[in-house]
Structure 1
Amino acid sequence: MKYLQSKLLILVGVLLGLTEVQAQQLPSSSKRTHQDVPFVQEYSIKYYSDEQSSGLEKVYADRNGTVQILGSKGLYRTHAGAFLYPGSFTPDKTYLAMKDKNVVSIATVEDQFVYLDDKAVFSNAWAGSLYLKHELPGAVHFAHGEDFTFLVSDGSNIHLVNQEGVVYKGKISGSPVIGISYDMATGRYLLLAENKVMAFSAASKKLQTLTEGSGFTSFVVREGKNKLAVATTDGYFEWDLLADKKVGAKNNALPWPSLTSLTEINGLLWFGSERGAFMQKEDGGFNYYYGERWLPGDKVLHISQKNEDEVLVLTDKGLGKLVFMSQTLAEKAAYYGEQVRERHIRHGFNSTLTSMEKGNMDTGRLADSDNDGLWTSMYLGGEAFRYAATGSADALQNVKESLDALERLYTINPVKGFPSRSFFRSGYIEKLADPDRWQHASDKEWDWKATTSSDEVIGHVFVFAVIAELVDNEALRKQAIGLLDQLMTHIVENDWYLIDYDGKHTTWGRWNPEYVNGFPTMVGDRKLNSSNIIAMLQTAYHFTGKEVYKKEAYMLMEKHGYLENLMRPMEVIGKAQEGSDDWAAMLSESWNHSDDEMYFMGYWGLYRYAFTDELKEKYRLAIQDHWESERPEKDGLWNIFGALVDRENFDLEEAVWYLQEHPLDMISWNTANSHRKDIKLLEQNFREQTTDVVLPPDELMIRRHNGNRFTLDGGNGGGQEYSAGDIWLLPYWMGRYLGVISDPLTK
């Protein structure tokens, strides 16, 4: 399989391959399940240049896999370099005699390096027998035709050379030649100038102008299509080489239309531009490679193919080697699992590696977070699902370690049933954000973080329930249920508030009817807090059997309208009406994606542990209503939660798309898309949806599920590496547990 072919062609092969798999391995079922066969996963290996390797021009690889880069100071090779560990350039000293050659251009013929200097076209391949003097001391461009015949140009002259010597000399009028190619179908050399395309027949020795224009920068013969694609500073157009006429109109609806380079790889056009590289897919859309997730620099100078699954993209600051490998979702999960354990576990918490120097993970530190409890709950939930789906002893150990971390959030502070946000060894508070939140523990070695919010609480309740239900380890079940009971007892006994060390409720830990129903009906917190607290009470009742939780839940639903609140359609949610208080106005300025995360974390307990079938049906309708409003974002986790309530009607393909398209590189590189000309921008709206169709995760900045997936620009220059624990592993392993993603199928 050629992994650089479009995803469409790959999927065709996958679907054809599934026929036998489905017949032999899959149980008969009407339920929708993604069969986990290998797909194409992209990643980049970057090589940065320095002042010594300046003036970069072209990059090629030969049949041996050797990569050579041409710069103004000579030839270079790549040194070291691996995924997440950038390499560099080093002068190529392979052939000692090459240092005396004034190499001005490089190409490949039959996958061997061929060079142009001020005297000849030559190569070190073919036993060094290729050496053709061209008699153009100022030569800068050349192209191979047939039978080792080359056309050479210094911009204003052309010489046709072969083993017999220079067999033709001619002049070019007007703008100088900036590129030469060869069309085997017509037997013509094609010459590009800034304002025209010309054709030279090696047989008749005639030169003709095919088309004129302006701003031409690069061109490529489309093999087997009898077309020439011409790049300009404002898009590209195609030329019919048989009919010698333009094909259609110029296309400038591109990620960035100021083009610098153009090539064809496996039948697909690859564009270099002032702002990154992009590949045109079979459906006309583009895969966009922009920013340091993919490339060392923004301005692309040259693109070439290394082999069937690697593309070389040379930029003004170095080389990006794009690798297209085959893997299953299960293999991707294994990689992410290692990423979490190697670099993102802090005292059992699922943490972010921060304070990095431009993507260098060895310079980072594990940071505390206001949401240590939430991010850890989400990772811990994924590991519990992994254990339930596979019986992995490793997953069970991970569950134990992270559950111990969550338990210590309760025991490190003096308030019974109150979960701290985080904890840290003492003496470092001054170096951390929000020092006023930190409190000293009774053990002087430790400090703990107060002001816990509802985000953490719903995350805790979610994962305590998942462990209690799915992990067949009595000690862990008892531990999870005990923590759940402590937390909910605290909330019930404190009149639906989370009470901090100072005896006051926290800013966000409020589920009291006076607070909740004080919001106008269109303010999301009224619906959200009602939904969350009912889910929490149902969960507590389900696992403890304590009637107080059931009694209080019905009281809130029947006396205070919490059932009506949580059933309110999402289309009603919006900005508070004129005259509302400042708090309501602030909370409803725009759609809150953290709220979405809290809703869905609560839906596990709301739906799964419903008191009655009648309530369960009501909850199903409310969950599906919310899911419908979230569908444009194609968030993998929300779509997997959709399968919780309806296995037949949820966006399975979009969930898999999210999981497959998510970048392996979890570093917070800067990304930008708002400049793109191939996307449709929407008017400003309450949901902050910027485009009609959401872009793939690997073209956007890394974000958690509480971020707006329609945010086009962002990042912090590679200062952080996020954990895949909550972002990717939770939806994947939840999908595996629910049976909507199969075990890996490699046949």
Structure 2
Amino acid sequence: MKRAPWTIVLLFILQVCLQSCTPNQSATSSTQPVHADVAFQQDYSIKYNVTQEGVALKKVVSDRNGVISIFSSAGLLKPYAGSFLYPGTLVADRTYRPIADKKITALNLYQHQFVYADDKALLSNAWAGELYTLYNIPTVSLLKGGKDKAFLLSDGHELEYVKDGKSVWKGKQSETILDIDYSTTADTFWLLTANGVSVFSVNDLSVKPFFSGKDLTSFALTESGKTLVVGTHDGYQSIDAATAQTKGEKQTKLPATDITTVKEIGGALWFGTTQGAFKVRTDGKFDYYASKRWLPGDDVIDIAEGPEASILILTDKGLAQIVFKSMTLHEKANYFQRQVRARHVRHGFNATMAYMTDGSLATGSLEDSDNDGLWTTMYLGAEVFRYVVTKEDDALQNITEATEAMERLYTVNELKGFPSRSFERRGYKYDDKAWQRARHPEWDWKATTSSDEAIGHIFAFGVMAELLTDQPSLQKRAVTLIDSLMQHIVDNDMYMVDWDGKPTVWGRWNPEYVNKRPWGVGDRKINSANIIAMLQTAYYFTKKEVYKDKAVELMTKHGYFKNLMYPMAKIGKAAADADDWSKMLSESWNHSDDEMYFVGYWGLYRYALNDTLKTQYKDAIIDHWQMERPEKEAAWNIFTALTGTSDFDLKEAVWYLQEYPLDLIHWKVANSHRKDIEPIEPNFREQTTTEVLPPDELPINRHNANRFELDGGDGGASEYSAGDIWLLPYWMGRYLNVISAPTETKAGK
């Protein structure tokens, strides 16, 4: 039979230079860019829930001392006992008993001090309590201070201007006054109604119309009084405060358009809406704060500047304090390390905290997973990279504990070289048919192990065997595990064979299965790439010829080299005449396969049988990475860096690492309603928008999910571990020297 040209070339490559390459011990190219780990602004939320039913929250302010006060239908409230991930509550403010006993009807700041209105007077505890002015309108609901402790008061219709302890002017508006603002430059008060803006002049004590509109909801004077920003039920409009001329088009391409409040804080515009809050960035895009990751409720009532440059967002369900902390990636890694060790270690596995009620960490329990091995190997790899970089004993202990868990996957069952998916104490999982009895009376183990588990195992064990040069015992244990798994696969004709003597559904690398998939169906390429990576790794560390021979056989005789080199751009849906299984496998892009590919690329490239193959593999890896670039996935970018290429989107990888939220609770998140994102037509890759959103605005997901998934979450029923999601790309980047150690500098924006 005549061989195809690519087969002849491959045979030549293998026969001429069939010797293993020596993997590099750090970054593979001196020309690669390096991110200097300077401090950035990490945001997180401290939430305070209102516990009384029927309480309407109305306004929030913070004084010069950092004291926060909330005005509500139940009087004055204050936040109590909240911290990150552990919500506090809003409680009655009894700080000043005489104030608490009064019938407070309005609250605002003046010269960074609290000013109140009760049922008869304007008053304050500042300035030695000397501010006390009686007023004559029925009930003050709005108050705003001007020059020299002069104030404009309103009950929504009547207006009263008071100064020096007495009433100076009274008037009445036909429309309901929604809000009052003040211009220091012009010494004028601005009045908002649903249909326009008017100006009260202190000089001639008159109200004059300024701007007419429709469905106005909120406003703020910005840019030192030069611009009036008016919110509506459908976006916002900027208006020249001198000429009343609109400035540009009305802004409706926003994260949410039903504006409830507008504030300028620190030179930035903040908007509250019925679907969360957002800030306008200097590049014209938005930072969107919505869902319980950030807010107790999404219906925003008020926004204010908080203590230490934080932002206070008052909602119908409580208060959120958005805190901005100067932090390096290394400091973030230390925080996430504590998160993993405190809440996500189950028998040494890297696990999910599940069964939570509304995000309460006190209610959660550690959950077994079909992918206990995979999630753990990704964390295990991260800890190996960390140990190599830092030589910290803590990292070594974590490696040891994770290795013990991984080893037990192989020993808890009686199948030689077969890794269980998981194990658990008896009686908790045996109702699932995938669970089997262990010999030990206390334990059950889960069968049906899949290829994503296997490739994760080989990745981590290879990293251990290569890099733990000062830990020979752990190296040996890793090589033993590699050999055990791969011998099982080779002995069983390239299948993983389960307790029932049958191949598992997804543990199949036999050519009869792999090549049954049509060209363009992803499983043909992924299974070929993974098994060659696994066999190369096994040969590199065991030097057993059977693994090299099998890799060569699969690549030459069965076309696995051609399979794995097949261009990613040609992966798509199976043809109409394909078998049903192939059609099912190719309904859309498999993002779980992306995870398997890139984890496998470590062994495919690093332990290539020779340098010529290594060059070919590099081309395949970069070809895949080109398809993944829109997702800005840190893991895929950093894995690509192992090839030595100078272009692997380091900036986007750092963006991912910096923007990933500290809160990894799987809150329900929605973005599909947003008008500031540009949707695209449904497609095979499931990319939903032209540009991916920041990680802190998306549902929490592992690397096997679609980064373009706009909506998702389980309502706070689980918290994911940072071990695989964040620590793996970070510590790999540190090991490959494309992310530096932390440097001392001021935080950027």
TM-score, scaled to structure 2? 0.94
> What secondary structure sits across from 2:57 in the alignment?
coil
Structure 1 residues 90 and 52, CA gap change in structure 2 (3 angstroms): farther
Q: Which residue of 2 aligns with 1:448?
A: 445
Deviation at 1:242, TM superposition (A): 2.0
> What secondary structure sits across from 1:424 in the alignment?
strand
1:573-722 pair list within 5 angstroms: 573-722=571-720
Deviation at 1:52, TM superposition (A): 5.3
Structure 2: how far apart are the matches of 1:734 and 1:601? 12
**Which amino acid letter does the alignment assign opposite residue 566 of structure 2?**
R
Q: Which residue of 2 aligns with 1:47?
A: 48
Deviation at 1:164, TM superposition (A): 4.9
Deviation at 1:430, TM superposition (A): 4.5
Q: Which residue of 1 aligns with 2:4?
A: none
Return 5+ residue gaps in structure 1 as ranges: 1-27
Q: Which residue of 2 aligns with 1:344?
A: 344
Task: Report Cα offsets for 1:483-521 as digits up to 9, x if no partner.
Answer: 100111111111100011111000000000011000100
> What secondary structure sits across from 1:68 in the alignment?
strand
> What secondary structure sits across from 1:250 in the alignment?
coil
Structure 2: how far apart are the matches of 1:410 and 1:706? 24
**Which amino acid letter does the alignment assign opposite residue 531 of structure 1?**
A
Deviation at 1:366, TM superposition (A): 0.7
**Which amino acid letter does the alignment assign opposite residue 105 of structure 1?**
A
Q: Which residue of 2 aligns with 1:123?
A: 124
> What secondary structure sits across from 1:477 in the alignment?
helix
Q: Which residue of 2 aligns with 1:25?
A: none
Q: Are 1:270 and 2:267 matched, yes or no?
A: no
Higher relative contact order (CA 8 A, sep 6+): 2
Deviation at 1:188, TM superposition (A): 1.2
> What secondary structure sits across from 1:583 in the alignment?
helix
1:96-111 pair list within 5 angstroms: 96-111=97-112
Q: Is the 8 A contact 2:229 2:237 kept in 1?
A: yes
Q: Which residue of 2 aligns with 1:405?
A: 405
Q: Which residue of 2 aligns with 1:13?
A: none
Structure 2: how far apart are the matches of 1:427 and 1:187? 75
Q: Are 1:90 and 2:91 matched, yes or no?
A: yes
Return 5+ residue gaps in structure 2 as ranges: 1-28
Q: Which residue of 2 aligns with 1:228?
A: 228
Q: Is the 8 A contact 2:573 2:588 kept in 1?
A: yes
1:363-442 pair list within 5 angstroms: 363-430=363-430, 435-442=432-439
**Which amino acid letter does the alignment assign opposite residue 116 of structure 1?**
A
Q: Is the 8 A contact 2:660 2:694 kept in 1?
A: yes
Deviation at 1:99, TM superposition (A): 3.2
- Cα RMSD, aligned residues only: 1.2
Deviation at 1:362, TM superposition (A): 1.5
Structure 1: how far apart are the matches of 2:249 and 2:154? 30
Number of aligned residues: 716
Q: Is the 8 A contact 1:185 1:226 kept in 2?
A: no
TM-score, scaled to structure 1? 0.95
> What secondary structure sits across from 2:661 in the alignment?
coil
Q: Is the 8 A contact 1:53 1:73 kept in 2?
A: no
**Which amino acid letter does the alignment assign opposite residue 691 of structure 1?**
T
Residue identity over aligned pairs, in percent, reads 56
Structure 2: how far apart are the matches of 1:332 and 1:525? 36
> What secondary structure sits across from 1:224 in the alignment?
coil
Structure 1: how far apart are the matches of 2:564 and 2:493? 20
Q: Which residue of 2 aligns with 1:38?
A: 39
2:552 to 551, 554, 562: 554
**Which amino acid letter does the alignment assign opposite residue 453 of structure 2?**
E
Q: Is the 8 A contact 2:184 2:225 kept in 1?
A: no
**Which amino acid letter does the alignment assign opposite residue 640 of structure 2?**
G
Deviation at 1:239, TM superposition (A): 1.3
Structure 2: how far apart are the matches of 1:384 and 1:139? 64
Deviation at 1:223, TM superposition (A): 3.6
Structure 2: how far apart are the matches of 1:419 and 1:52? 52
Query: Larger deviation: 642-651 or 713-722?
Result: 642-651
Query: Larger deviation: 53-62 or 619-628?
Result: 53-62
**Which amino acid letter does the alignment assign opposite residue 664 of structure 2?**
M
Q: Is the 8 A contact 1:45 1:81 kept in 2?
A: yes
Structure 1: how far apart are the matches of 2:737 and 2:58? 51
Deviation at 1:546, TM superposition (A): 0.9
Q: Is the 8 A contact 1:53 1:76 kept in 2?
A: no
Structure 1: how far apart are the matches of 2:116 and 2:301? 18
> What secondary structure sits across from 2:715 in the alignment?
coil
Structure 2: how far apart are the matches of 1:37 and 1:727? 21
Deviation at 1:110, TM superposition (A): 1.5
Structure 1: how far apart are the matches of 2:692 and 2:275? 20
Q: Which residue of 1 aligns with 2:5?
A: none
**Which amino acid letter does the alignment assign opposite residue 489 of structure 1?**
Q
Query: Larger deviation: 594-603 or 439-448?
Result: 439-448
Structure 1: how far apart are the matches of 2:476 and 2:158? 85
Q: Which residue of 1 aligns with 2:251?
A: 251
Query: Larger deviation: 159-168 or 696-705?
Result: 159-168
Q: Which residue of 2 aligns with 1:18?
A: none
Task: Report Cα offsets for 1:204-229 as digits up to 9, x if no partner.
Answer: 22321111111111111104261011
Task: Report Cα offsets for 1:115-164 as digits up to 9, x if no partner.
Answer: 12232221011110011222112322121111101111222222111115
Task: Report Cα offsets for 1:263-295 as digits up to 9, x if no partner.
Answer: 011111100000001111011111001100000
Structure 2: how far apart are the matches of 1:152 and 1:713? 44
Q: Which residue of 1 aligns with 2:285?
A: 285
Query: Larger deviation: 96-105 or 616-625?
Result: 96-105
Q: Is the 8 A contact 1:106 1:113 kept in 2?
A: yes
**Which amino acid letter does the alignment assign opposite residue 248 of structure 1?**
G
Q: Is the 8 A contact 1:309 1:325 kept in 2?
A: no
**Which amino acid letter does the alignment assign opposite residue 197 of structure 2?**
V
Structure 1: how far apart are the matches of 2:645 and 2:393? 29
Runs of 4+ in 1 over 4 A off after TM superposition: none
Structure 2: how far apart are the matches of 1:269 and 1:633? 28
Q: Which residue of 1 aligns with 2:486?
A: 488
Q: Is the 8 A contact 1:58 1:106 kept in 2?
A: yes
